[in-house]
Amino acid sequence: MFDMPSTALLMLITGLTGIGSLPPYPAPIASARAGQVVDVTPTLQLVVRGGTDRRTLQLAGLAMPTETSAATTARTALWQLVRGEAIRWQPHGDRTVLAFREPDGLCLNLELIRQGAFAADPAAARVLPALAAYEAHARERGVGRWHRPGDSPAGSEAEVYITRTGTRYHRGACPHVRESGRPIPLAEAAARLKPCNRCKPPAPQLSTELSTGRNSPKRATGDP
């Protein structure tokens, strides 16, 4: 199993993010190996180079998509998270690993489930209990493979990323959020931060409704 943060830290994290229903990401163990991701194979394994060593890692807890389109989506999501990035990994389950992006410690296994890029592997629930909660969270929001045409808003647009000290909010793929980015609801971010000029994240739907309500001043006067 993995080391869990202290209860105090857990309370701090859940208080900050407002996603108290989700268990926090685990932290890598001290003996976790380190390397750089140089490729993602069509069978969704990470190709990692560390010094002269080159190896292929299978992430624990992810159900491999059977449809071609789902596999392509999953591979893209995985590649976007780790392209050229340093990661740490530790054995977890049967010939599979838990992997963490450096330096922010993002747990790739759980993040991919959270984004809806993969379904959780039911057989892995025993070794990684948090999987079920993360998949339920993704299904609830209708993101990734759980998105149904006609869903509104698209779940992936209802959530953006912020950093600890920045004054702007971002898309998940923005280079500015690599160091300390964490996801929060779009409405919450837009209430106190400006959108990033570089990645141009979406604006909340609420402001769109307000700005298109051209007759609202008349209604605001209280006319019958």
- How far apart are CB 175 and Zn ion at their closest, in Å? 7
Does residue 202 bind Zn ion (CB under 5 A)? no
Widest distance between CA atoms in the chain: 77
Query: How far is it, in rounded angstroms, from Cα 17 to Cα 168?
Result: 16
> How many Cβ atoms from other residues are within 10 Å of residue 148's Cβ?
6
Does residue 195 bind Zn ion (CB under 5 A)? no
Does residue 160 bind Zn ion (CB under 5 A)? no
| Of residues 39 and 157, the one with the C-beta less far from Zn ion | 157
Does residue 196 bind Zn ion (CB under 5 A)? yes
Query: How far is it, in rounded angstroms, from Cα 174 to Cα 178?
Result: 7
Does residue 189 bind Zn ion (CB under 5 A)? no
Q: Between residue 4 and residue 43, which ones bind Zn ion under the rule CB under 5 A? A: none
Of positions 174, 186, 189, 193, contacts Zn ion by CB under 5 A: 174
Number of residue whose CB is nearest Zn ion: 196
Torsion sign, CA atoms 150, 70, 93, 79:
negative
| Of residues 21 and 80, the one with the C-beta less far from Zn ion | 80
Does residue 186 bind Zn ion (CB under 5 A)? no
Decide: 25 and 106 in contact? Cβ < 8 Å.
yes
Q: Which residues is 194 bridged to in the sheet?
A: 168
Tokens in use for 177?
A: 């959020």
Considering only the stretches 44-52, 112-120, 178-186, 198-206, report the one whose residues sit in contact with Zn ion under the rule CB under 5 A.
198-206
Of positions 198, 207, 209, 216, contacts Zn ion by CB under 5 A: 198
CA distances from 216 to 67, 68, 203, 219, 222 (A): 48, 48, 20, 5, 10
Torsion sign, CA atoms 164, 22, 71, 86:
positive
| Of residues 39 and 85, the one with the C-beta less far from Zn ion | 85
CA 40: distance to chain centroid?
Answer: 18
Considering only the stretches 16-24, 65-73, 89-97, 165-173, report the one whose residues sit in contact with Zn ion under the rule CB under 5 A.
165-173
Considering only the stretches 17-25, 53-61, 110-118, 172-180, report the one whose residues sit in contact with Zn ion under the rule CB under 5 A.
172-180
Query: How far is it, in rounded angstroms, from Cα 175 to Cα 50?
Result: 23
Considering only the stretches 17-25, 96-104, 147-155, 196-204, report the one whose residues sit in contact with Zn ion under the rule CB under 5 A.
196-204
Q: Which residues bind Zn ion (CB under 5 A)?
A: 170, 174, 176, 196, 198-199
